[in-house]
Amino acid sequence: MNLSTPLLTCQLTSNGQRNFNQVNSNLKVNGAMVDVDFICPESYTSGWDFLKDIKLSLDLRRGKGTGGTSTIIQNVSLLNMLKYSDLIAGVSTEGTKWTAGKKVRISGILPIGFFAMGANDALETFLYNGSNSLPASVNVRISAIYTNTGYTVIKTYREALPTGADQPYKNVLGIFYMGKGDGVGQCSVTDQLGDQSINVSDAIAYSNATGELEFFTDIGQLYEEPYQISQNVHFTVPTTEAGASLLIVGLDFSPDLLERNDIEQSGQREALIDQIRVNDASKYEYLTYLGKN
């Protein structure tokens, strides 16, 4: 069972509060989960589109040593978060049954990697409701998910709008086009190894053919860093499609955080091995033969 810790819980209304903020501490985190529900009104047909205007940010403010801030999620819409979650295995935004008077619900997760918060750290969650067309009172829950220490590099997420001009970003793992892609044509991406040209419509078709999507969804991967170490990239995406956006997945390089995470991971493993050595000699001997002690 995964450990889920609420970061922020709120109810959104069309004439209510726009900004929501919550600070948490003493957490271990692998991912950020969003969970949304509301009671479907009569004749509602707009689906989850209103989530495009509800933006999430997540900052880890480090209090140890020189401190610093790791911006893990930067102003990413809940709709794009859910589409990306669906691509890598999740619930489809296209699969909801809209029945008047019944609760509809959807959830998604952004993988982060792993970090363990120190005593002086703060995890700040920000939610901005920019939607003027909410279908009803909407319940939103943002939670931290912890499964295990595992992968210690921290993934980051941010949104951008296509400008038709050159757009530079550092430490990029992947770039995703969020839209139908009709008539957009070619875009270009230049990383530290070379140039490539991508047809946006083909990228959407390929992502739907190879992703974990149950229904055809408006998402296409324009760039994937081949070595999973991230690169500095420049890209040019036409502005042909109104309402289209880009999700940029990257890596955060904070040496102090990486060192602390490694200490946390190795410390827990050594404590477990010590217990096995004391309480289960045959198992410890077996692990010794395998070179795992």
Q: Which of 231, 240, 230, 232 is nearest to 187 (CA)?
A: 240
Per-residue pLDDT band for 211 (boundaries 50, 70, 90) equals very high
**pLDDT at residue 186, rounded to an integer:** 97
Which sign, positive or negative, has the C-alpha torsion 220, 226, 230, 235? negative
| Per-residue model confidence as pLDDT tens digits over 218-239 | 999 999 999 999 999 999 999 9
Q: Is the pLDDT of residue 68 over 90?
A: no
For the residues 23-51, what does the mean pLDDT come to? 95
Rounded CA-CA distance 164/213 in Å is 28
192 φ, ψ (degrees, to nearest 5) = -75, -5
**pLDDT at residue 266, rounded to an integer:** 63
Per-residue pLDDT band for 66 (boundaries 50, 70, 90) equals low
Q: Which of 43, 46, 64, 39 is nearest to 119 (CA)?
A: 64
The pTM (predicted TM-score) of the whole model is 0.88
Domain boundaries, the chain: 3-254, 255-293
DSSP annotation string for 144-179: EEE--S---SEEEEEEE---SS-EEEEEEEEEEEES
The pair of three-digit structure tokens given for residue 48, joined into one six-digit string: 């989850």
- Residue 254's identity, in one-letter code, is S
For the residues 26-48, what does the mean pLDDT come to? 94
Rounded CA-CA distance 70/256 in Å is 11
The pair of three-digit structure tokens given for residue 114, joined into one six-digit string: 């792993």
Which of 59-63, 199-203, 219-223 shows the lowest per-residue confidence on average (mean pLDDT)?
59-63
The pair of three-digit structure tokens given for residue 70, joined into one six-digit string: 């790791």
| Per-residue model confidence as pLDDT tens digits over 180-192 | 999 999 999 999 9
**pLDDT at residue 255, rounded to an integer:** 74
Neighbours of 102 (CB within 10 A): 10
For the residues 24-45, what does the mean pLDDT come to? 94
Tell me how far the alpha carbon of residue 83 is from its chain's centroid. 10
First to last CA, the chain: 26
**pLDDT at residue 274, rounded to an integer:** 80
For the residues 37-54, what does the mean pLDDT come to? 95
Q: Which pairs count as long-range contacts for 16-21, CB under 8 Å and 24+ apart, including other chains?
A: 17/129, 18/128, 18/129, 18/130, 19/126, 19/127, 19/128, 19/129, 20/126, 20/127, 20/128, 20/129, 21/124, 21/125, 21/126, 21/127
For the residues 124-150, what does the mean pLDDT come to? 92
